[in-house]
Amino acid sequence: MKKKRIGVLTGGGDCPGLNAVIRGVVKASIHRAGAELVGILDGFDGLIKRRIMPLTWDNASGILVQGGTILGTTNKVDPFHYAEPDEKGRMTKRDVSDRLVSYFNELKLDILVCIGGDGTMAISSKLMQKGMPIVGVPKTIDNDIWGTDITFGFNSAMTTAAEAIDKLHTTAMSHHRIMVVEVMGRYAGWLALESGLAGGGDVILLPEIPYDLDKIRALVGERSKKGRQFSIVVVSEGAKPLGGEMVVQRMVKESFDPVRLGGIGQKLASDLESATKMESRVTVLGHLQRGGVPTPFDRVLATRFGVKAAEICLSEEAGVMVALKGNDIVSVPLQEVGGKMRLVDPGHSLIRTARDLGICLGD
- Give the tens place of pLDDT for each residue, 250-278: 766 666 666 777 889 999 999 999 999 89
What pLDDT was estimated at residue 259?
72
What pLDDT was estimated at residue 88?
80
21 close to 137: Cβ distance less than 8 angstroms:
yes
Q: pLDDT tens across 87-144, in order?
A: 888 888 899 999 999 999 999 999 999 999 989 999 999 999 999 999 999 999 999 9
Is the pLDDT at 40 greater than 90? The verdict is yes
What pLDDT was estimated at residue 257?
67
Q: pLDDT tens across 286-326, in order?
A: 989 999 999 999 999 999 999 999 999 999 789 999 999 99
How far apart CA 276 and CA 228 sit, in angstroms, is 14
Percent of the chain clearing pLDDT 90 (strictly above): 81
What pLDDT was estimated at residue 339?
78
What pLDDT was estimated at residue 251?
66
Q: pLDDT tens across 335-344, in order?
A: 999 778 999 9
CATH assignment of 156-291?
3.40.50.460
What pLDDT was estimated at residue 91?
84
What pLDDT was estimated at residue 342?
95
pTM beyond 0.85: the answer is: yes
What pLDDT was estimated at residue 255?
63
Q: Would you please indicate which residues are annotated as catalytic (active-site) residues? A: 142
Give yes or no on whether 5-152+294-336 and 156-291 have one common fold.
yes
Output the average pLDDT for the chain.
93
pLDDT higher at 357 or 92: 357
How far apart CA 199 and CA 83 sit, in angstroms, is 42
The residue ranges of every structural domain in the chain are 5-152+294-336, 156-291
104 close to 112: Cβ distance less than 8 angstroms:
yes
115 close to 266: Cβ distance less than 8 angstroms:
no
Instruction: Describe the crossing of helices 264-276 and 213-225 by its angle, rounded to 10 degrees.
Output: 50
User: Rg of the chain over CA atoms, in angstroms?
Assistant: 22
How far apart CA 132 and CA 134 sit, in angstroms, is 6
Backbone angles phi and psi of 217, in degrees to 5: -60, -40
Task: Return the closest-CA partner of residue 137 out of 110, 114, 109.
Answer: 114
Give the number of residues written for the chain.
Answer: 363
SS3 letters for the chain? CCCCEEEEEECCCCCCCHHHHHHHHHHHHHHHHCCEEEEECCCHHHHHHCCEEEECCCCCCCCCCCCCCCCCCCCCCCCCCEEEECCCCCEEEECCHHHHHHHHHHCCCCEEEEEECHHHHHHHHHHHCCCCCEEEEEECCCCCECCCCCCECHHHHHHHHHHHHHHHHHHHHHHCCEEEEEECCCCCCHHHHHHHHHHCCCEEECCCCCECHHHHHHHHHHHHHCCCCCEEEEEECCCCECCCCCCEEEECCCCCCCEEECCHHHHHHHHHHHHHCCCEEEEECHHHHHCCCCCHHHHHHHHHHHHHHHHHHHCCCCCEEEEEECCEEEEEEHHHCCCCECCCCCCCHHHHHHHHCCCECCC
**C-alpha atoms less than 13 angstroms from C-alpha of 295 in its C-beta half-sphere:** 19
Q: pLDDT tens across 202-235, in order?
A: 999 999 999 999 999 999 999 988 988 999 999 9
Is the pLDDT at 174 greater than 90? The verdict is no
Percent of the chain clearing pLDDT 70 (strictly above): 98
Pairing of strands 5-10, 36-40: parallel
171 close to 179: Cβ distance less than 8 angstroms:
yes
How many Å separate Cα 274 from the centre of its chain? 34
Task: Return the closest-CA partner of residue 241 out of 206, 277, 281, 211.
Answer: 211
Q: pLDDT tens across 41-65, in order?
A: 999 999 999 999 999 999 999 999 9
Q: Is the dihedral of CA 151, 152, 154, 159 positive or negative?
A: positive
Q: pLDDT tens across 151-171, in order?
A: 999 999 999 999 999 999 999
Is the pLDDT at 248 greater than 90? The verdict is no
Return the CATH number of 5-152+294-336, one of 3.30.2130.10, 3.30.230.10, 3.40.50.450, 3.40.50.2000: 3.40.50.450
